[in-house]
Structure 1
Amino acid sequence: MKQKLLCLIPLILVTGVVQAASCPAVTVADNKGVPSGDFPQQYELSEFQSLANCTLSFNANPDSAALNSKIRGNPALPSNLSDRIPAEPLVYAPYDSIGKYGGTLDVLSNATEAGTSDFLSVRHVNLVRYSDDLQTIVPNIAKGWEWNDDFTQLTFFLRKGHRWSDGAPFTAEDVKFWYDEIALDPKIMQKPKDYVLVGGKPMTVDVIDPQTVRFNLPAPKPGLLSHFATSFAQGFQPKHFLGQFHPDVNPDADALAQTLGYENGLAVIKAYFGNSDWTDTPSPLLNSPDRVAKLPADVIPTLESHITVSDTTEGRHFVANPYFHIVDTQGNQLPYISEQDEIYANDNEIRILKLINGEVDYKAQSVQLPAAPILLEHQESGDYTIELRPEITLANVSFNVTHPNLEKRKVFGDLRFRQAMSIALNRDEINEVAFLGLGVAKQYIGFSPTPSFVDSKWESYMIQYDPAAAKALLDEVGLKDIDGDGMRELPNGEKLILNLQFSTQGVAGEVMELVGQHWAEVGIQSTVKEVTPDEYRSTQSSNNLDVGAWRKSQPMAIVLGNNELWVPPYEGYFGHRTAMLWAEYVDSNGDSGVKPPAYAMQLIDDVNAFQSAMAGTAESDALGARMVENMVGNLLFIGLVQAPAPIYHRNALKNFTTFLTQSYEYYRTYPYRGTQWYLDE
């Protein structure tokens, strides 16, 4: 206690000058007697200094200038760190200890835009985030927020002096620019995402002052805040940089673009930004390397902890953002780790071998439970740790109810067929063989964890193993073995062979092999083939899959902010989709595509109403219950097994905590503060 008190009183120097005490090295493991602030594991600067009775002095990575020199287009760094960080930086209490600067975080992804979200989440920022309890939303880019009484107005308060990675000021104008000129511009985004709409209608964004921005909603949508806490899609873009190429912002945008060798300003924006909200769009370094030297910078300025300096088909390299807005409780600017290096390996066996050899510092995405035994076996020799953590999603399959082959479409669209294919699956065997007996057989209900308003019968709906009943249903559908080979033909006599394409990023190969076997036992022939994530997604999006196979489900907090699991095609490009022609019908207001059945249209109406209702009320619960009944009762997605999944980290990676879940749904590492990791070697 005496030592703690000494750090809270002024130090008297021999000259008689009074200097504020240095601040205690507060960590989550040892708070040094400093109380928690308004939010767990972090403080605003004034809050921390008041609670610790000290004045924080700031320190930068000694290699900041050298790292900055690798960022093409960046000016020389201001000599004082106080000119690079906000006037009120966010203060993190590290998990275990104050870190040390330097080193390179080595990570492993599948390919460009495939299996990379794990790594993206390490450096990710958004207006807010979830704390590692996955219950509490806490400040990040925004230092605070405020709702009005009926959840139709959300105001964010930003940090004075916050800067982009090129040193330009970050203000409320960057939030408004993102919304008005990127998210709602059909020339950039083909159609607005659900999270930028409320019941299908746009919001408006007002700049109150440079540090205050307000979203005005046409109807209540309390889940908008949780969207910003969980999504890779950031609520800001650099107006000073992208705006110079946007004709609605700069009347000379097209002329400027033409001097750089581009047709017009929007072509430059697409070279940087793509036409997606996915923050992993390949940079001009990869998309247009012949033109990149003419552009003002290699990549868009960022607020994230690291910025891309190299982008190839083999991988990417990043250096620390010299203007990052977070410091630790000793005033050290984060991130501690100076550089990040990502390599690509699409082959699952190669990825596992690299993990066993200790060539990777952190990995969770695309590491499936069947790989756990061999990874656990080599923990000691590889000097790494494997933790098995629950997954929010569960492995599931779907049938393409808008298949281009009209005979298959008719069969896949018959509920009796989907019921038969569900009860033909021996989920206990799948659990024992593919999931090491650690999983639980479940039906897909759309929500995970299960809300209280869901009738428990839906979690076990049509998951009983009953091949005899499955065969009877298939007979009713008109699928008979005409040629006597033991396998059923379509009602028109054509062979029925299901192409079971899968990617190990979405579901383990052992699972799909068993699924194919179980369906063969009731007379449905299939071919099982592993493909890359890109191949799978391309086939899925072009409406050419027979069977979808991935993991799927979301916490209610995310459903309240994003309706994609309930509206055709029932997820974005990177997720598990079906009914692509229903989606086309909805998007075109009936001008093209295939009209969805009544229950699918009811789901759209219900999820929009669910997002505006106050959670926990009778209205909200009734809407949610009907959503589950319609989704599960029609078996658009057929659940298999929910099981834990491995999380891998090398033992030299410090301040690494146990994750509550292994989940994409809370954006992987984002709640666990990868910017305070450091390498001790």
Structure 2
Amino acid sequence: MTITTRTLLVSAAASALMAGTALAECPAVTVADMAGVAPGDFPQQYELSAFQEAAGCDMTFSENPEIAALNGEIKGNPELPALAERLPSEPLVIVPYDGVGQYGGTLRALSNATEAGTSDFLSVRHVNLVRYADDLQTIVPNVAKSWEWNDDFTQLTFKLREGHKWSDGAPFTSADVKFWYDNLALDSKVIEKPKDYVLVAGEPMTVDTPDDTTVVFNLPSPKPGLLAHFATSFAQAFLPKHFLGQYHPDINPDADALAAECGFDTGLAVITAYFGNSDWTDTPTPMLNSPDKVDCLAKATYPTLESHIYTSETTEGRKLVANPYFFMVDTTGQQLPYISRQDELYANDNEVRILKLVNGEVDYKSQSLTLAAAPLLLENQEKGAFTIQLKPTIAMPAFSFNLTSEDEAKREVFGNIDFRKAMSLAINRDELNETSFFGQGEPKQYIGFSPTPEFVDPAMTKLYAEYDPEAAKALLDGIGMADTDGDGFRELPGGGKLVLNMQFATQGIGGEVVELVAQYWSDVGISTAVKEVTPDEYRSAQSSNQLDVGMWEKGQPTAIVMGNKELFVPPFENYFGHRTGMLWAEWVDSNGASGVEPPEWVKTMMADVDAFQGAVPGSDDQSEIGARLAKSMAENLPFIGTVQAPNVIYHRNALKNVPEFQNSVLRVLPDVPVPSGAVVLLGVMRPVGWG
């Protein structure tokens, strides 16, 4: 889920920012110096006409001197027309933080592996229809120029930008939004099961496109949080119909024949190669999956509206160049992004990643960094010419037991609330805080909302979170788990051996946290076996319902829950996080035809979250339902919270316009921080949609 940033970052290779010199008729307005220009309708950005009126100027546009060469690296792109033909008639004007930037340079990123630890890098280029401003409260225009709700939140209308173009120069229109929804998001041949957030209380919407710049979402029932979803999701509400649509048989009757020319079985196989079978915007492309077919295909990756586009991809990493048709400009008329290139390197070993950071081989990093790395990084800041920020987060490491384990003996134990209470009481959160988080965190229980909304009883954040090993042992005794063979560890109630296989990936949780929790559980007689695995191995085991214990950071604000109910519906999250009720999810999806029927508390929670999303935000009705949801989450412990502690944010000093990061009330992906702006695009960093 996304967050773009509006911090105009410039990499080391791009040299210093050129602050203070007007590069066009309009003044070099910055957040630091507004030069007497009145703020616009939205924080730190303007529509072009509004800025020209406020600044009393007539903007002249300019471009990156390298843009023609960069465009030449984008497979399938024609030669560039003049800049005026590439920008929308009303580009979005972004106000830099400290100074107007100088073009050029390469932003170097570091990820774990393909689709693992890549979210903070995706955040620096991502866009969606709308986004959250730096105040993390105000939804502001982004790809869409404006929006309007009807009175009962059953119709949401967006106006797009006239003349907006994809990265290959093709027009971006309302048809691209309708194509995404009708032909991809709802097509079971592409995505087997529609994502929760494209539905309203389980029912699909309809999309009308009365003209090229108008998109109307018609909802079967109220869902005010739909707008917040578009502001926070990595799943973009548009895809290029002109390219992907030619391979969809419902749009082009010759799709399969066209695909066969490039060695694909069907047109849908081409869409899968480019788009994957989900709406995650960071999937590998045919450059990696089908290198023998790339030359035949018109493009190596599908066109984008983001600040940068992929030009190469291998198992070692990926490279991107600036989008020559990007729709934002700075206050002097320079087309963004400032940064010409982005390089992403994969390093799945945590120690290797830390070494590269210490050596200054990376320009920006946050995801997959834990507080355990802070002392070494802080010690090397001056020598390595980088800066470390320690900022509060809303996420915390959480543990979950496989409530629908294929092993029925384990399923019976994991499904017993007294077992889960015992495991929570066995964790010494105060010691965990001191040992793993240097005393900087706050012990907490997981309640499904973070930060804690006013409508939640604060006592819920402490429920079963005290350290009481004797009470834990008594609970385990009470469910018939005793050490019958004298080896110091308890057997299952029926007498069989129980060993909790604790497989974890450092992308989602720190190894030091896992080791300590495993020891706490061993101390009350539960045998554990800890093993570090790759994120792909972790997710594969989870997908096949083979994990005993889920271990990943969790934390989502109310704004996300208003648009996405997956935390309260089996399996209680998605491929990228915890999934702890796989067979319950199968029962729900099949209307009871297969899988395992969930208990009543789960069914009640599912109904409550639908009601929560349909209620007017901030109303007494919504608050009452929200309090009930948090209470159910805390009392039933599908997830066990630990300690909410600061996160590490790294950037090289050569990057300019980097803001002070603030507590991210909108975080969607647990280990991606939100700067006070939120899009490391372009440099522009600002939360542009936790998408």
- What is the TM-score of this pair, normalised by structure 1? 0.95
Which one-letter code corresponds to 1:576 in the other structure? H
Q: 1:49 — aligned with what?
A: 52
Question: How far apart are 1:188 and its partner, in Å?
Answer: 0.3
Deviates more, 1:494-503 or 1:86-95: 494-503
2:295 aligns to what SS in structure 1?
A: helix
DSSP 3-state at the match of 1:674: strand
Give, in angstroms, the shift of residue 538 of structure 1: 1.0
Q: Quick check: 1:391 aligned with 2:396?
A: no
Match of 1:334 in 2: 336
The question of whether the paired residues in 1 share the 8 Å contact of 2:313 and 2:319 is answered with: yes
The answer for unaligned runs of 5 or more in structure 1 is 1-19
Equivalent pair of 1:86/1:160 in contact (CA under 8 Å): yes
In the TM superposition, 1:131-142 aligns within 5 A as: 131-142=133-144
SS of the aligned residue for 1:123 comes to coil
| 1:77 partner letter | L
1:434 corresponding residue in structure 2: 436
Partner amino acid for 1:382?
A: G
Equivalent position SS for 1:430: helix
Deviation at 1:256, TM superposition (A): 1.1
1:423-502 correspondence runs (5 A): 423-502=425-504
**Offset from partner CA, 1:44-80 (integer Å, 9 cap, x none):** 00000000010000000000000000001000001x2
Displacement of 1:678: 8.5
**1:108 and 1:363 in contact (8 A); partners too:** yes
Match runs of 1:264-413 below 5 Å? 264-413=266-415
In the superposition, relative to structure 1, how do residues 421 and 567 fare at CA in structure 2: closer, same or farther (>3 Å)? same
Checking the alignment, whether the CA contact within 8 Å between 1:392 and 1:665 is kept in structure 2 is no
* Partner residue in 2 for 1:36: 39
1:51-200 alignment to 2 at 5 Å? 51-78=54-81, 80-200=82-202
- Alpha-carbon distance between aligned partners in 1 of 2:681 and 2:597, rounded to the nearest angstrom: 47
Counterpart of 2:634 in structure 1 is 632
Correspondence for 1:644 = 646
Within 2, Cα distance between the matches of 1:172 and 1:111? 34
Amino acid in the other structure paired with 1:53: G
The AA in structure 1 aligned to 2:681 is T
2:556 corresponds to 1:519: no
SS at match of 1:535: helix
Tell me what 2:607 maps to: 605
Alpha-carbon distance in structure 1 between the residues aligned to 2:337 and 2:463: 47
- Alignment correspondent of 1:15: none
Letter in 2 for 1:356: V
Contact persistence 2:125–2:682 (CA under 8 A): no
Aligned to 2:28, which of 25, 38, 41? 25
Distance in 2 between residues matched to 1:28 and 1:676, nearest whole Å: 17
2:683 is matched with 677
**For residue 108 of structure 2, what is the amino acid of its counterpart?**
D
Which runs of 5 or more structure 2 residues have no equivalent in the other structure?
1-22, 686-691
User: For the structure 1 residues 262 and 134, does the alpha-carbon distance in structure 2 shift closer, same or farther, using more than 3 Å as the test?
Assistant: same
**Counterpart contact for 1:379–1:385, Cα < 8 Å:** yes
Which residue does the alignment assign to 1:11? none
| CA deviation map 1:123-162 (0-9, x unaligned) | 0000011111110111110011111111111111111110
Q: Deviations over 1:84-127 (max 9, x none)?
A: 01010000010100000001100100001100011001000000
Equivalent pair of 1:156/1:212 in contact (CA under 8 Å): yes
User: What amino acid does structure 1 have at the position aligned with 2:245?
Assistant: G
What residue number does 2:578 align with? 576
- 1: CA distance, partners of 2:595 / 2:480: 26
Q: Is the CA contact 2:225–2:559 (under 8 Å) kept in the aligned structure 1?
A: yes
Output the CA distance in 2 between the equivalents of 1:397 and 1:308. 36
Q: Is the 8 A contact 1:445 1:553 kept in 2?
A: no
Matched residue, 2:688: none
Alpha-carbon distance between aligned partners in 2 of 1:304 and 1:424, rounded to the nearest angstrom: 47
Q: How far is the alpha carbon of 1:173 from its aligned partner?
A: 0.6
Contact 2:449 2:558 in 1 (8 A): yes
Aligned to 1:420: 422
* Corresponding residue number in structure 2 for 1:587: 589
Q: Return the alpha-carbon distance in structure 2 between the equivalents of residues 277 and 229 of structure 1.
A: 16
Distance in 2, Cα, partners of 1:463 & 1:669: 28
Q: Distance in 2 between the 1:104 and 1:643 partners?
A: 32
| Rounded Cα–Cα distance in structure 1 between residues aligned with 2:537 and 2:89 | 47
Q: Amino acid of the residue matched to residue 54 of structure 1?
A: C
Aligned twin of 1:4: none
How far apart are 1:661 and its partner, in Å? 3.3
1: CA distance between counterparts of 2:289 and 2:24?
A: 52
2:429–2:642 contact (8 Å) kept in structure 1 = yes
Q: Report the CA distance shift for 1:21/1:124 in structure 2 as closer, same or farther (over 3 A).
A: closer
- Give the aligned residue type for 1:432: E
> Structure 1 counterpart of 2:39, which letter?
S
Kindly report the root-mean-square deviation, in angstroms, between the aligned alpha carbons of the 2 structures: 1.4
Amino acid at match of 1:84: R
Aligned mates of 2:554, 2:352 — CA distance in 1: 26
Q: CA deviation at 1:21?
A: 8.3
Residues 508-555 of structure 1: CA deviation (Å, up to 9, x unaligned): 111111101111111111011111111111111211111111111211
Give distance in 2, aligned partners of 1:185 and 1:487.
50
Q: 2:56 is matched by which residue type in structure 1?
A: N
Deviation at 1:492, TM superposition (A): 2.0
Aligned-partner residue type, residue 41 of structure 2: D
CA contact (8 A) 2:326 2:335 kept: yes
Whether the 8 Å CA contact 2:649–2:673 is kept in 1: the answer is: no
- Equivalent position to 2:255, from 253, 256, 279: 253
Secondary structure, counterpart of 1:143 in structure 2: strand
Residue 394 of structure 1 contacts residue 639 of structure 1 at CA under 8 Å; is this kept in 2? yes
RCO higher in structure (CA 8 A, sep ≥6): 2
Structure 2 residue identity aligned to 1:491: P
Deviation for aligned residue 1:616 = 2.1
1:676 shift after superposition = 4.7
Q: Matched residues in 1 for 2:114 and 2:451: separation?
A: 31
Distance 2:59 2:526 in 1: 68
Q: Partners in 1 of 2:573 and 2:84 — Cα distance?
A: 43
Query: Does structure 1 retain, via aligned residues, the 8 Å contact 2:157–2:216?
Result: yes
How far is 1:674 from its partner?
1.9
Counterpart amino acid of residue 474 in structure 2: A
- How far apart are the structure 1 equivalents of 2:679 and 2:472? 48
Structure 1 counterpart of 2:492, which letter? Answer: L
**Residue type of the alignment partner of 1:530:** E
Preserved contact between residue 501 and residue 548 of structure 2 (Cα < 8 Å)? yes
* CA distance, structure 2, for counterparts of residue 475 and residue 668 of structure 1: 42
For the residues of structure 2 that align with 1:512 and 1:673, how far apart are their CA atoms? 32
8 Å CA contact 2:24, 2:332 repeated in 1:
no
**Aligned equivalents of 1:215, 1:21: Cα separation in 2:** 39
1:399-428 Cα distance to aligned partner (Å, 9 max, x none)? 111111111111111111001111011000
Cα deviation for residue 664 of structure 1 reads: 4.4
Percentage of pairs with the same residue: 66
For 1:241, the equivalent position in structure 2 comes to 243
Decide which structure has the larger Cα Rg and report it.
Answer: 1
**8 Å contact 1:654–1:677 — kept in the other structure?**
no
Q: What is the CA-CA distance between 1:259 and the residue it aligns to?
A: 1.6
Match of 1:621 among 620, 623, 627: 623
CA distance in 2, matches of 1:94, 1:194: 36
Aligned twin of 1:10: none
With normalisation by structure 2, the TM-score equals: 0.94
